[in-house]
Amino acid sequence: MKRAETETSSGLKDERKTIKCLIWDLDDTMWDGILVEDEIVNLRPQVLDIIQTLDSRGILQSIASRNDQDKAVERLREFGLFEYFLYPQINWNSKASSVKKIAESLNIGLDAIAFIDDQAYERAEVRYSFPDVLCIDAADLRSLPELPEMNPRFVTEDSKARRSMYVSDITRNKVEEEFVGSKEEFLASLGMIFTVSSAKEDDLKRAEELTIRTNQLNTTGYTYSFDELNKFRQSGRHKLLISSLEDKFGTYGKIGLALIECEREIWTIKLLLMSCRVISRGVGNILLCHILKQAKERQVTLRAEFLSNDRNRLMHITYKFGGFREHMKDGDFVIFEHDLSRIPVVPDYIEVRVSD
């Protein structure tokens, strides 16, 4: 039983590479001049507007600069820009190593990174080390906001708040590092609330964004447009579920999505995904547990499609540890089935709320 042609993804991901983070060089890129040599460096005229524009679109930003860290941070604060940059790498290491460090810290793929620098050598080094990184000449700075890769189809409320949510994550991680106790005790201290609800029309922009942006924790990699998702939402044969998470530090936003095809005797999970930002919070299987419980209540057979790639192995493990067994396999395409005899237990330190 292969996925039906009428329900394959729309191909949005293939049509447009989505940049999640732009990494800036400083000298003769963000500002005119060399900080360690010149007494005065001036911010290039269009830089502030570009940084604020990309930030408002939900594109994260960071820095990879060979520079004196203290002087650079001081200058960025004077320009009122330092707060826009996550995990800045201002040191004397190679730009490639800095780019890698930023990607790892943000937990995003290198194919979602863009790097802008005035030096051809630096761009070539990054491009050689990481061919998937989009390298941009600083001479093209003015046209940067017009690049298709920098223009998401929708700007959602989660997009607008993305940087602040990452800042909250940094605070959480710092508190966790200083926490005395077990991992479970730390998670219990967060007061997490996980909400599962049927997707409303207002959720669909974010739902489309999740299918496009989420690569690692995505069972099939299918992408769906707003219109396709709206049809599923209104269909009597499908369930479209969206989930969110919050804790004492604030909201993580809408972080999970599931699409289920509901036949009379068989339900099939066509898509299950979870934002990378929340996987360390132990919530990766909560949406799946909710689906398992619903299937058991309806007394239907539950199956799940899985299309393996080089990045979503963790979701394969999620299905395996969740009690699914292989029902059919055709190359990289697998259909799992669950007998619903045992449903994983949600940790008692997470409050789960369900709404229609």
**31-63: per-residue pLDDT in tens?**
999 999 987 999 999 999 999 999 999 999 999
SS (H, E, C) the chain: CCCCHHHCCCCHHHHCCCCCEEEECCECCCEECCCCCCCCCEECCCHHHHHHHHHHCCCEEEEEEECCHHHHHHHHHHCCCHHHECCCEEECCCHHHHHHHHHHHHCCCHHHEEEEECCHHHHHHHHHHCCCCEEEEHHHHHHHHHCHHHCCCCCCHHHHCHHHHHHHHHHHHHHHHHCCCCHHHHHHHCCEEEEEEECCHHHHHHHHHHHHHCCCCECCCCCCCHHHHHHHHHCCCEEEEEEEEEECCEEEEEEEEEEEEECCCEEEEEEEEECHHHHHHCCCCHHHHHHHHHHHHHCCEEEEEEECCCCCHHHHHHHHHCCCEEEEEECCEEEEEECCCCCCCCCCCEEEEEEC
Asked whether residue 323 is assigned to any structural domain, the reply reads yes
Asked whether residue 285 is assigned to any structural domain, the reply reads yes
Within this chain, do residues 92 and 187 fall inside the same structural domain, yes or no? no
Asked whether residue 75 is assigned to any structural domain, the reply reads yes
Within this chain, do residues 260 and 304 fall inside the same structural domain, yes or no? yes
Asked whether residue 58 is assigned to any structural domain, the reply reads yes
**190-243: per-residue pLDDT in tens?**
999 999 999 999 999 999 988 887 767 889 988 899 999 999 999 999 999 999
Residue 76: give its domain's CATH number.
3.40.50.1000
Confidence band for 129, pLDDT divided at 50, 70 and 90: very high
The encoded tokens of residue 328 equal: 């059919």
Compute the CA torsion angle 315, 319, 322, 323 (nearest 10 deg).
-160
Asked whether residue 246 is assigned to any structural domain, the reply reads yes
**109-126: per-residue pLDDT in tens?**
899 999 999 999 999 999
pLDDT of residue 153: 84
| CA 31 and chain centroid, separation | 30
Asked whether residue 205 is assigned to any structural domain, the reply reads yes
Residue 167 has pLDDT above 60, yes or no: yes
Asked whether residue 61 is assigned to any structural domain, the reply reads yes
If one counts the domains in the chain, the total is 2
CA dist., res. 99 & res. 84, Å (int):
17
Residue 30 amino acid letter: M
Cβ atoms within 10 Å of 156's Cβ, excluding its own: 21
**283-341: per-residue pLDDT in tens?**
878 999 999 999 999 999 999 999 988 788 888 888 998 899 999 999 999 999 999 99
Within this chain, do residues 241 and 340 fall inside the same structural domain, yes or no? yes
Within this chain, do residues 196 and 252 fall inside the same structural domain, yes or no? yes
Q: Which of 129, 150, 171 corresponds to the end of one domain?
A: 150
pLDDT of residue 5: 35
Within this chain, do residues 172 and 66 fall inside the same structural domain, yes or no? no
pLDDT of residue 277: 77
Within this chain, do residues 136 and 41 fall inside the same structural domain, yes or no? yes
Confidence band for 4, pLDDT divided at 50, 70 and 90: very low
pLDDT of residue 51: 98
Q: Which residue segment(s) compose the domain that 286 sits in?
A: 158-355
pLDDT of residue 214: 72
Within this chain, do residues 26 and 100 fall inside the same structural domain, yes or no? yes
Q: Which of 133, 150, 167 corresponds to the end of one domain?
A: 150
Mean pLDDT, the chain, whole residue set: 91
Within this chain, do residues 186 and 335 fall inside the same structural domain, yes or no? yes
How distant, in Å, are the alpha carbons of 14, 47, 252 from that of 179? 42, 39, 21
Global pTM value: 0.79
pLDDT of residue 14: 41
State which of 71-85, 171-185, 317-331 shows the largest mean pLDDT: 71-85
Residue 12 has pLDDT above 70, yes or no: no
Within this chain, do residues 175 and 144 fall inside the same structural domain, yes or no? no
Q: Which of 128, 150, 172 corresponds to the end of one domain?
A: 150
Cα-based angle 179, 182, 184 (whole degrees, multiple of 5): 105
Asked whether residue 9 is assigned to any structural domain, the reply reads no
**97-110: per-residue pLDDT in tens?**
999 999 999 988 89
Within this chain, do residues 320 and 171 fall inside the same structural domain, yes or no? yes
φ, ψ of residue 167 in degrees (nearest 5): -60, -40
Within this chain, do residues 128 and 176 fall inside the same structural domain, yes or no? no
Residue 192: give its domain's CATH number.
3.40.630.30
**253-292: per-residue pLDDT in tens?**
999 999 999 999 999 999 999 887 787 787 878 999 999 9
φ, ψ of residue 104 in degrees (nearest 5): -65, -40
Within this chain, do residues 121 and 178 fall inside the same structural domain, yes or no? no
pLDDT of residue 338: 96
